[in-house]
Amino acid sequence: MEREAKPLPMIRLLANLCFVGSFISFAVTTLGLFRMPDPYNLMHAVSVADSVGVGFAILGLFLLSPSWAVRIKLVVILAFFWIVNPATSHLVLKAGMVRGEPLAAETKAMKG
Amino acid sequence: MRRRYIALFLLLFGFWLVIAGEADWEHILVGAVVALVTVWLWKDLVPQIPVSLSARGIMLFGRCLSTLIWSIVDSAISVTKTVVFGKPPVKPVMLTVRPALETNWGRVFLGNCITLTPGSVTIDINPETGVFTIHALNPEIAEGLCSWKIIDEIRALELWGKERVIHAPAAGGSYGVDSFGTLASDHGSDGS
């Protein structure tokens, strides 16, 4: 039976740092859910977990992966997340606009 | 045109094999059937699928990706400071801007990048005028979006695509379809 090679201590340390980064991102998002004034701003807090939290988690798993087949799957999963999450965020906010969900009072209009 | 159907089939079948993780005859058969049915269901979209990539195209896309990843990390730090310490404070901005992009895929790509970056969400893109409606967490983020260098990088990708349209007939390619497979009529009224 083939023995699985254990990752080097440095790789494990880096992977654990990635997991800590991911945990912090999700914690910030959770805190943001309570602190943001309206649904539009909530999405900004949520996007921290969507992009950075998921990115760090998958990077950590990538470093610990036993084979390239698993690594390719992880990259595909990350690409899927990074395509689908912005699309759903956009749809949620567009639905809010269409339904007339009020913006926070301090929201200003700006032209670029 | 036939190459595009085969390319899509191989892409879907390869994706299936990667995700399934096993290559016994049951997985291969189911994957092949599902890939064939999907190609048939997507037959209208097949002309829009790229069949070839060049080193320059990959390099330009890689440059966009590196800018995006850097922006995501940078913006995440800024949004984290706002959420945890309240600095910079939440001063939401509804930004309307018209980036210098001509193709629909370029606009969708930019819209996706904007939403992926914490602190800004694309609410709407007008396909006729190319005007983006963006919600930003504060004016600094909004101003940063207006001069974001990824816009120029996506523009460079668009131009690369256009060059390939010009050279496509000489190289034996099909008329009216650029390297991303975008139909000429899909470029919008203000585009090419």
| B58/B75 Cα distance (integer angstroms) | 25
**Helix, strand, or coil (residue B147):** coil
**Minimal CA separation from B111 to chain A, in Å:** 8
Q: Beta strand pairing status for A108-111 and B93-97? A: parallel
Among A14-18, B54-58, B184-188, top mean pLDDT goes to A14-18
Average pLDDT on B163-177 reads 49
Closest to A48 (Cβ–Cβ): which among B19, B80, B139? B80
Distance, CA of A47 to CA of B112 (rounded, Å):
12
pLDDT of A41 strictly over 70: yes
Q: Give the best residue of B16, B64, B77, B83 to mutate against chain A (max A CB count within 10 A).
A: B83
Specify the higher pLDDT residue, B53 or A70.
Answer: A70
Q: How high is the ipTM of this complex?
A: 0.87
- For residue B125, the SS3 value is strand
Which pLDDT does position B17 carry in this prediction?
86
Q: Residue A97: phi, psi to the nearest 5? A: -65, -45
Taking 90 as the threshold, does the pLDDT of residue B159 lie above it?
A: no
Q: Residue A2: count other Cβ atoms within 10 Å of its Cβ.
A: 4
Run of H or E including B67? helix B55-85
C-alpha torsion A98→B109→B70→B55, nearest 10: 170
Distance CA A27, CA A60 (A): 17
Q: Residue B124: beta bridge partners?
A: B133
Which pTM was predicted?
0.79
- What integer is the mean pLDDT of B37-54? 76
pLDDT single digits (tens) A58-103? 999 999 998 888 898 899 889 989 999 999 999 999 999 899 888 8
* Cross-chain residue pair A110–B112, CB shorter than 8 Å: no
Instruction: Give me the pLDDT at residue B71, please.
Output: 93
Look-up of token digits 């470029």: B187
Mean pLDDT, chain B, rounded, equals 81
Any residues with CB less than 8 A from the CB of B3 and at least 6 apart, and which? B51
**Closest C-alpha among A16, A13, A48 to residue A31:** A48
Flag if A85 and B116 touch (Cβ within 8 Å): yes
Q: Is the peptide bond before A37 cis (omega within 30 degrees of 0)?
A: no
What's the mean pLDDT in B13-31?
86
The single residue listed with the structure tokens 């036939």 is: B2
Q: Of B167, B116, B168, B169, nearest to B145 (Cα)?
A: B116
**Is residue A28 pLDDT above 50, yes or no?**
yes
Cβ contact, residue pair B121, A43, below 8 Å = yes
pLDDT level of residue B38 (50, 70, 90 thresholds) = very high
The pLDDT value given to residue B16? 87
Residues of chain A with C-beta less than 8 angstroms from the C-beta of B126 = none
d(Cα B48, Cα B33) in Å, to the nearest integer?
A: 22
Q: Where in chain A are the domains?
A: 9-98
Which pLDDT tens digit goes with each residue over B67-92?
999 999 999 999 999 999 988 899 99
Q: pLDDT > 70: what percent of chain B?
A: 81
Closest by Cα among B39, B52, B59, B58 to B172: B52
Quote the tokens at residue A3. 């023995």
pLDDT(A13) > 90:
yes
Contact A48 B76 (CB under 8 A): yes
Cβ separation B79–A107 shorter than 8 A: no
For residues B133 and B100, the answer to whether their CB atoms sit within 8 Å is no
Closest CA to B117 of B139, B148, B96, B86: B148
CB contact under 8 A, B18 and A47: no
pLDDT above 80 (res B165): no
The count of CB pairs under 8 A between chains A and B is 125
What confidence score (pLDDT) does residue B178 get? 40
- Say how many Å lie between the first and final Cα of chain A, rounded: 63
Chain B contact residues (CB < 8 Å to A): 15, 18-19, 21, 72-73, 76, 79-80, 83-84, 90-98, 111-112, 115-124, 135, 137, 139, 142, 145-146
Chain segment B114-157, per-residue pLDDT in tens: 999 999 999 999 988 999 999 999 999 999 998 899 999 999 98
How high is the pLDDT of residue B49? Answer: 64
